[in-house]
Amino acid sequence: MDCSMMKFKLQSGKFMPLIGFGTYLITGNQLIYQVLDEALAAGYRHIDTATVYHNETSIGQALKVLLPKYNLKREDIFITSKLAPIDQGEGAFSAVQESLKKLDCGYLDLYLIHWPGAGRLPVNSQENNKLRSKSWESLAKAVKAGLVKDIGVSNYTVKHLNELLMNDYGVKPSVNQVEWHPKFHQPELLNLCRQEGILLQAYSSLGGTGNSNLIRDPTVVQIAAQLQKTPAQVLLRWAVQQNIGIIPKARTEEHIKSNIDLNFEIPVEMMTRLSNLNSNEKFAWNPEVVA
């Protein structure tokens, strides 16, 4: 099956493309237009953004021009945005409305709580727990109001997720977007997500921004050479082959195209070797510290 066509059924019954296009650190009208033009041409139909990326307006403006160019309608693409930590709590509903206004897209397919902690609060404060629960209550209202089709979380640990599942205000999370790659993956978290019908979606699939430790790992490089693929393709395929969502970001046409060109199989023995690289090496922030 063509990887770009692979989809996951969310809690709403709607389907989300397993491969999305990440836009973290990609800003400016011209650059956003250019990368989205290339992404849509390559077959991406899922765009991932967030309030804190400061590019929602640019994405909205670009899509107004690009969708007709590719003979696409709003419902042909999947748009995800995320709640800024500063908006945790009752402000979450207004934050959804603000994202919608900037993206100018009628509705959001998916909206995530970006971080389990709240802005301006110490990570160990028990207020974090109360505020993220309030956020979820607000997001459940946004679903019922038709502003968002599905809601989910990002950077939630097993503890945070279990706590949410105990009181989900009638709307279960559809996605948990977390750091996930061969050097950092947690079976317990994946098992919990699968048990609850939550898609685990990976970020930092290729390692940290500006950190090439993972992409240059000897095992990854060797397997890529044997399969005649790039190390990036191997790392992305490793996730997709386990039915884990990915949102690779890229700025060059070459990388944009190769990141979605994952129609190959990694043999079981090589998958095991990649998974065995797990050494708890993180490239992003650590949500474990958030109360």
Q: Which of 65, 78, 71 is nearest to 12 (CA)?
A: 78
Q: Which residue type, as a one-letter code, is found at position 198?
A: I
- 24, 33, 44, 53: the catalytic one is 53
**What percent of the chain is helix, strand and coil (3-state, nearest 5)?**
45, 15, 40
Q: Are strands 108-113 and 15-17 parallel, antiparallel or unpaired?
A: unpaired
Which residues, listed in sequence order, are joined to residue 46 by a DSSP beta bridge?
A: 78
Crossing angle of helices 127-144/158-166, nearest 10°? 60
Spell out the SS3 assignment of 167-234: CCCCCCCCEEEEECECCECCHHHHHHHHHCCCEEEEECCCCCCCCCCCCCCHHHHHHHHHHCCCHHHH
- Measured distance CA(224)–CA(231) in Å, rounded: 5
Q: How many CB atoms lie within 10 A of CB 260?
A: 24
- Measured distance CA(169)–CA(153) in Å, rounded: 14
Catalytic site includes residue 111 = no
Three-state SS at 163: helix
Q: Which of 173, 240, 164 is nearest to 202 (CA)?
A: 240
- Measured distance CA(198)–CA(110) in Å, rounded: 13
- Measured distance CA(281)–CA(291) in Å, rounded: 22
Look up tokens 């990915």; give the residue: 246
Q: Please list the active-site residues.
A: 53
